Amino acid sequence: MSEPSCPNCDVTLQPVAARARSGYLLALDQCPRCGGLWCDRWELFPVDGAEVARLDPVDQPTLWAPVAAVKREPKCPRCRIAMARFRDPLLPEDVRIERCRACEGMWLNRGELRRFKAARARPAPPLALPDGPIEQLAQHYGAGTAWPTIANLAQATNPPPPPDEPPDLTPQLMQSAAWLALRALLRLLLHI
């Protein structure tokens, strides 16, 4: 397998360690030129917020330097297939994360990790739910028509417990009795 390369600069990504919220270390990949960050599947979300300053530093000269626009679709550093934009209704529009559909890894350009973690730190606004579907569910389940179906599902998924029969301990009891008899005989013979 070839080394993963940056989707923007085509430079080989360098491994970097990041501490997760639970304390273990994650092995991420970072571009030494543009600072972009590659997270394999399930690696982005547990990254500790304290790691952001180290992994995604604000370098003012680099930040203000002009960058040539990438005209091609970014390709996955691992699979080399085109990535798609990751969309989450809880993330602001300025957080642009590219996601590989095959390996489910995620690419973050410099600055994206900082914005992503800042957005995740804010409490999520309550979701506005439409009244129609909730009222339909309340009517359906409140009418009692669904309870026989639920009872059938409960019986199908929870088999009855096994009958309360005591296990057959006869072989173990016989072996224990034989050892006790042998010990008693040895004590009598050896006067212990």
**Confidence at residue 102, expressed as pLDDT on a 0 to 100 scale:** 95
- Is 49 part of a structural domain of the chain? yes
- Is 180 part of a structural domain of the chain? no
Residuewise pLDDT in 10s, the chain (192 residues): 578 999 998 999 999 999 988 888 999 999 998 899 999 999 998 999 888 888 887 665 655 666 556 567 899 999 999 999 998 887 888 889 999 999 999 999 988 999 888 888 887 667 676 677 777 777 766 666 666 666 677 677 766 666 666 667 677 778 888 888 888 888 888 877
**Confidence at residue 120, expressed as pLDDT on a 0 to 100 scale:** 82
**89 DSSP assignment:** T
- Is 66 part of a structural domain of the chain? yes
Per DSSP, the residues of 19-87 read: EBTTS-EEEEEE-TTT--EEE-TT-STTB-GGGHHHHS---HHHHHS--PPP-SPPB-TTT-SB-EEE-
- Is 6 part of a structural domain of the chain? no
Pairing of strands 106-108, 37-39: antiparallel
Pairing of strands 25-30, 14-19: antiparallel
* Residue 66 lies in domain: 14-121
User: 192 and 186 in contact (C-beta within 8 Å)?
Assistant: yes
End-to-end CA distance of the chain, in Å?
71
**Confidence at residue 65, expressed as pLDDT on a 0 to 100 scale:** 61
Closest CA to 82 of 92, 72, 90, 91: 72
Number of compact structural domains in the chain? 1
What is the rounded distance in angstroms from the CA atom of residue 138 to the CA atom of residue 117?
37
- Is 170 part of a structural domain of the chain? no
Closest CA to 41 of 52, 30, 27, 53: 27
Tell me which residue has tokens 């973690």. Answer: 117
